[in-house]
Every structure is written in structure tokens, then in C-alpha cells.
Amino acid sequence: MDSSSAVEDSGDKTTSKRWLTGPPTGDGEEDCDAEAWETLNKGFIEAQSVLDQNRLLIQQVNENHQSKIPDNLVKNVALIQEINGNISKVRSVYSNLSMNFSKFVHQRRAKNKIDKLELADS
């Protein structure tokens, strides 16, 4: 497991998805886990893309600032506004990730509770 990842990448896709739900018990859990993993992974990729874009914008702002050329300093206003907009995008993506993660956990807990009740009744 590397320091930037919460999931060990052993090359086995099913192993990397288990962090959310534990071992499968059947009845479509693999599909639910795959959907959860895909949704969360898509959000992390989107956030990382915007953060990478901000890194480039910040580098440009720094270069413009160091140049002390008036036109470049004026360009920094628009660049900084874009950086601020991107920060809002990342906040929104992480907010959605949090809500989706919570939703998946609640769905899984509800399904597990129902499964236990059905098992006890049989």
C-alpha cells in the first residue's frame, strides 16, 4: 500500500473493492460493490484532475509574478479567479463523494440487516 492510497493495489480488482463492504455474501453484493467503487473512483479522478490543473495555474501565476511584467501581473487576476473556481469544484466533488459513500454504507447496512432477519426466519 503506498502512502497516497487507502487501498492496497494487489492487481486483484475485487480485493481492492473490499475496503467498502467486506467479503461478498452473494445476492448481487459484487454488483453493488462495483457500482460504489466506480462512483467513488470517478469522483477521486475528477478531483485529482482539477487539482492538477490548479497546480499548473499556480505555477503560471508564480512565473507571471516573478517576471514583474505589468501585462503578466494583470493576467494573474484571471488565473487566480480560475484557481478559486477550481477550488469550489473540488469542494463540490468531495462533498458529493462524502454523500455517495454515506449512501452506499447505509444501503449495505440496510441490506445486511434484512438478510440477517431473513436468515433468522428460515
For the chain, the structural domain boundaries read: 29-121
Report the distance separating Cα 112 and Cα 71, nearest Å. Answer: 62
d(CA 79, CA 62): 11
pLDDT value of residue 1: 38
pLDDT < 70 regions, the chain? 1-32
28 phi and psi angles, rounded to 5 deg: 85, 5
Residue 15's pLDDT is 45
